[in-house]
Amino acid sequence: MSGSVLIAAGGTGGHISPGVALAEVLAEKISTFGFDAVYLHSLVRNKDNPDLLNPPCLVLWHNVPQLGGLRTLVYPLLFLYPFLKTILLFHKLKVKAVIGMGGYSSLPAILYAILFRKKLYLCEQNCVPGKITRIFAKFSEKIAFSFPLAEEYSITGKTIGNPIRKRVIPVTLNIRQNENLHEGKKNTVNVLVLGGSQGARQLNQMILKAMENPDIANKYKFRLLTGTSLYEETKRKSVGNAEIISYANDMKPNYEWANIVVARSGAGVLAECLVFGLPMILIPYPYAADNHQKENANYIESQGAAVTIHSTSEDPTRLVQILLGWKDHSEILREMGHTSLALSNVNAAYQTVSYFFH
């Protein structure tokens, strides 16, 4: 297949990051997969996204409007102009195949593939398929899943794993920080807290309250990645020895430092924690579309790599209970770490591209 392949990288980090991981593979081995060029297609507002600051290929920027609110009635008119620009550009670049990563911003590329009979492939990151996957599955050649779909959904595809960027992948695989944990108060357990790119006030406050327990404070060392907007607030409220960081462009050192991760349950964070063999305490974002974070967390918990807290409050009671239960039982963390690693797929990006084009 000559011509070019285009990756519609979505409007949020959860769609962008795996799209960039696929672009890395294609850019490196473009002729192997039968194309002349690879492009990323993303929203103008994502120009400052860390994954797109130094991309592996040319990024084509667009500004298709978001659907919803008062715009719904006039959306077709608002959509038409950027879509016509997309058609002309894609014709010029000889786009022959489109990989949709999900989200409304992938709509122009997907519609182009359907209308002009180009090959369409879809990637679904979550256990609950998004609207794009559900609507356009019947038009796609193949669909790659990051995790098994929740049982109420029956969409044909292959579960491969969430594509991970090269810069996040561990240099030495099979890193198991928890192998070196031993019983006793002198053996500190490192807990990495991730609230996502925008941060999560609930997680930050829950951790700070948990640290008020002296047994927790003595045994666990916390590192909070608060998100830029919540950094000052969290720093001000912190009274313990927690390490407060607003944002980290390079996540690898943080994962290598951690013994446990406390996080939301977006697909990207889950995939990255798995390749580092990390046990997780997952607190799903309760307002995520179709409650997909809940299903993601439930799947990882069902496999034995995580414990889930379903809560909308900052009450630390359950978190404290879990951490105290693990305090003198490092064998639990070791076993969860082994399970986590077994669920990972460090080669998901290459395997996804190979599945689509071989």
At 22, which CATH number? 3.40.50.2000
pLDDT computed for residue 289 by the predictor: 78
Quick: pLDDT tens for 67-97: 765 566 777 888 888 899 999 999 999 999 9
pLDDT computed for residue 34 by the predictor: 93
Quick: pLDDT tens for 281-314: 999 988 887 889 999 999 999 999 999 999 888 8
Helix (H) or strand (E) holding 208: helix 201-210
Residue 253 lies in a domain: yes
Quick: pLDDT tens for 306-342: 999 998 888 999 999 999 999 989 899 999 999 999 9
User: Which residues are documented as binding site for UDP-N-acetyl-alpha-D-glucosamine?
Assistant: 12-14, 126, 165, 197, 293
In this structure, the answer to whether residues 212 and 248 fall within a common structural domain is yes
pLDDT computed for residue 288 by the predictor: 81
C-alpha gyration radius of the chain: 21
In this structure, the answer to whether residues 125 and 14 fall within a common structural domain is yes
Residue 317 lies in a domain: yes
Residue 194 lies in a domain: yes
Quickly state the pLDDT bin for 185 (edges 50, 70, 90).
very low
pLDDT computed for residue 182 by the predictor: 56
Give the end of a domain, one of 159, 190, 219.
Answer: 159
Quickly state the pLDDT bin for 159 (edges 50, 70, 90).
very high
In this structure, the answer to whether residues 151 and 264 fall within a common structural domain is no
In this structure, the answer to whether residues 142 and 195 fall within a common structural domain is no
Give the end of a domain, one of 159, 192, 214.
Answer: 159
Q: What is the mean pLDDT of residues 202-231?
A: 87
Q: What is the mean pLDDT of residues 210-226?
A: 91
Residue 271 lies in a domain: yes
In this structure, the answer to whether residues 115 and 79 fall within a common structural domain is yes
pLDDT at 198 over 60: no
User: Which residues are documented as binding site?
Assistant: 12-14, 126, 165, 197, 293
Task: Say how far apart CA 83 and CA 42 lie, in whole Å.
Answer: 13
- Say if residues 265 and 286 touch (Cβ distance below 8 Å): no
In this structure, the answer to whether residues 152 and 196 fall within a common structural domain is no
In this structure, the answer to whether residues 211 and 101 fall within a common structural domain is no
**Global pTM value:** 0.92
In this structure, the answer to whether residues 261 and 154 fall within a common structural domain is no
The SS3 of residue 75 is: helix
Structure tokens at 221: 């060392």
Please give the mean pLDDT across all residues of the chain. Answer: 90
Q: Percentage of residues in the chain with pLDDT exceeding 70?
A: 93
pLDDT computed for residue 278 by the predictor: 95
pLDDT computed for residue 184 by the predictor: 47
Give the end of a domain, one of 159, 188, 215.
Answer: 159
pLDDT computed for residue 226 by the predictor: 81
pLDDT at 138 over 90: yes
Task: Output the DSSP codes for 150-207.
Answer: PTT-----EE------TTTS-SSSS--GGGG--SSTTS-EEEEEE--TT--HHHHHHH
Number of domains in the chain: 2
Structure tokens at 100: 């949709």
Residue 171 lies in a domain: no
pLDDT computed for residue 176 by the predictor: 62
What residue type is 272 in one-letter code?
Answer: E
Task: Output the DSSP codes for 39-64.
Answer: EEEEEGGGTT-HHHHS-SSEEEEE-P
In this structure, the answer to whether residues 29 and 152 fall within a common structural domain is yes
Higher-pLDDT residue of 243 and 107 is 107
CA-wise closest residue to 225 among 205, 260, 199, 206 = 199
pLDDT computed for residue 163 by the predictor: 97
- CA 81 centroid distance within chain: 31
In this structure, the answer to whether residues 138 and 277 fall within a common structural domain is no
In this structure, the answer to whether residues 109 and 209 fall within a common structural domain is no
Residue 209 lies in a domain: yes
Residue 357 lies in a domain: no
In this structure, the answer to whether residues 145 and 181 fall within a common structural domain is no
Domain with 227, as residue range(s), is 177-343
Structure tokens at 159: 């579960």
Residue 270 lies in a domain: yes
